[in-house]
Amino acid sequence: MATTLRKSLETIEDYKINSPQYADLLDILAEILILREGYRQSIKHPIFSVEEKLIQGKMAGGLPLIDMSGKKYDLTRPREYFYALVAIAEKRVPLEGHKLFDIVHDKLFDWEKITLASFNPVPDEDEIISSDLREPKDDEEQLDLIDLFIEESLRPELEVIAEKYGPAIEKSDWSEGYCPVCGKEPKIGEIREGEDGRRYLFCHQCGYKWRFRQIKCPFCGNEEQHSLAYFAVEGEESRRVDVCNKCRRYIKIVELSDPAEEVNLDVEDIATLHLDMLAYEEGYD
């Protein structure tokens, strides 16, 4: 893990040179990766568990392994981790961090309620934030950071599950566009040249990657090729946006020419924020 972390931190430094507009967010991510690794090493008894005899049935039925509605978990450690993440923002971007601090300490902010919503196949934590916190004066940047930190707050614990049961998932016929571990929708994925045309979708909440058909929308299941498209920025063709003109959703994709190449998709997601902006401008969500 130390080698992987070191490589990711080196990649972040390279991106800061090439994309200085994202330097603050990349600095925050670097600290998150370091904090996450420390959390992972401190885990002695993971808070999440899976009934192994149910794995095959869950995969066949399109049900993620972790179901928060069926069991009560002690979320004390993830909650503490969340506020440690907020402290990183306060340090790295004081102005935005101060506003973020005010939001997450507002009496209306219910971390557990918002976090539990992440375990639905179609997550609705944005709607919860909207109903509880959003006002016309609210800064979208702070709410984006909250979304990032909520996903990250569960990441170390869920990574343990993803790594342990990943092989079992790979042997299943999972074909859903949401994560087989925790039910989160993907925002980014990758395609490896030389493989059979499948994408790998990535879950920010647990770090799991799963194979998914290339000609299929992960959000609505549309397989009509004429209504599926993609676009890229000239000179950056290895990073593109796959779009569905049926549901008007999109996902970013990193194309890897070397099948053995490994990229950190957490880093890639931030380094390609300009693609998100372009997608929004074109009317995709």
pLDDT digits (tens, 9 = 90+) for 214-263: 999 999 999 999 999 999 999 999 999 999 999 999 999 999 988 778 89
Indicate the number of domains in the chain: 2
Whole-number mean pLDDT of the chain?
89
Six-digit token pair at 187? 């925002």
- pLDDT for residue 68 is more than 90: no
- pLDDT for residue 135 is more than 60: no
Q: Is there a single domain that holds both residue 161 and residue 196?
A: no
Of the candidate ranges 60-69, 211-220, 267-276, the one whose mean pLDDT is the lowest? 60-69
- 196-222 pLDDT, tens digit per residue, is 667 899 999 999 999 999 999 999 999
Q: How confident is the model at residue 130 (pLDDT cuts 50, 70, 90)?
A: very low
- pLDDT for residue 188 is more than 50: yes
Cα(145)–Cα(89) distance, integer angstroms: 8
Q: What is the pLDDT of residue 120?
A: 59
Q: Is there a single domain that holds both residue 61 and residue 162?
A: yes
- pLDDT for residue 170 is more than 90: yes
Which one has a higher pLDDT value, 145 or 23? Answer: 23
Q: Is there a single domain that holds both residue 133 and residue 239?
A: no
177, 185 contact by CB (below 8 A): yes
Residue 22, by phi and psi: left (phi above 0), alpha (psi -120 to 50) or beta? alpha
Residue 36 lies in a domain: no
Per the DSSP assignment, residues forming a β-bridge with 200 are 190, 211
Q: How confident is the model at residue 137 (pLDDT cuts 50, 70, 90)?
A: very low
Q: How confident is the model at residue 128 (pLDDT cuts 50, 70, 90)?
A: very low
Residue 27 lies in a domain: no
Residue 6 lies in a domain: no
Q: What is the pLDDT of residue 228?
A: 98
Q: How confident is the model at residue 1 (pLDDT cuts 50, 70, 90)?
A: low
Six-digit token pair at 178? 């949401």
211, 182 contact by CB (below 8 A): no
Cα(171)–Cα(153) distance, integer angstroms: 28
Q: Is there a single domain that holds both residue 209 and residue 264?
A: yes
- pLDDT for residue 134 is more than 80: no
Long-range contacts of 236-244, Cβ-Cβ distance < 8 Å, separation of 24 or more: 239/268, 239/272, 239/275, 240/275, 241/275, 241/278, 241/279, 241/284, 242/199, 243/279, 243/282, 243/284, 244/217, 244/219, 244/220
177, 201 contact by CB (below 8 A): yes
Q: How confident is the model at residue 95 (pLDDT cuts 50, 70, 90)?
A: confident
- pLDDT for residue 124 is more than 50: no
Q: Is there a single domain that holds both residue 54 and residue 170?
A: yes
Q: What is the pLDDT of residue 125?
A: 46
Q: Is there a single domain that holds both residue 169 and residue 246?
A: no
Which one has a higher pLDDT value, 71 or 279? Answer: 279
Residue 228 lies in a domain: yes
Cα(240)–Cα(233) distance, integer angstroms: 7
Q: Is there a single domain that holds both residue 99 and residue 137?
A: yes
Q: What is the 3-state secondary structure (H, E, C) of the chain?
A: CHHHHHHHHHHHHHHHHHCHHHHHHHHHHHHHHHHHHHHHHHCCCCCCCCCHHHHHHHHHCCCCCCCCCCCCCCCHHHHHHHHHHHHHHHHHCHHHHHHHHHHHCCCCCCHHHHHHHHHCCCCCHHHHHHHHCCCCCCCHHHHHHHHHHHHHHHHHHHHHHHHHHHHHHHHCCCCCCCCCCCCCCCCEEEEECCCCCEEEEECCCCCCEEEEECCCCCCCCCCCHHHEEEEECCCCCCEEEEEECCCCCEEEEEEECCCCCCCCHHHHHHHCHHHHHHHHHCCCC
Q: Is there a single domain that holds both residue 193 and residue 169?
A: no
Q: Is there a single domain that holds both residue 167 and residue 194?
A: no
209, 263 contact by CB (below 8 A): no
Of the candidate ranges 37-51, 153-167, 192-206, the one whose mean pLDDT is the lowest? 192-206
Q: What is the pLDDT of residue 119?
A: 72
Residue 167 lies in a domain: yes
Q: Is there a single domain that holds both residue 200 and residue 268?
A: yes
164 lies in which domain range? 43-174
Q: What is the pLDDT of residue 237?
A: 92
Highest mean pLDDT among 68-77, 115-124, 159-168, 255-264: 159-168
Q: What is the pLDDT of residue 71?
A: 78
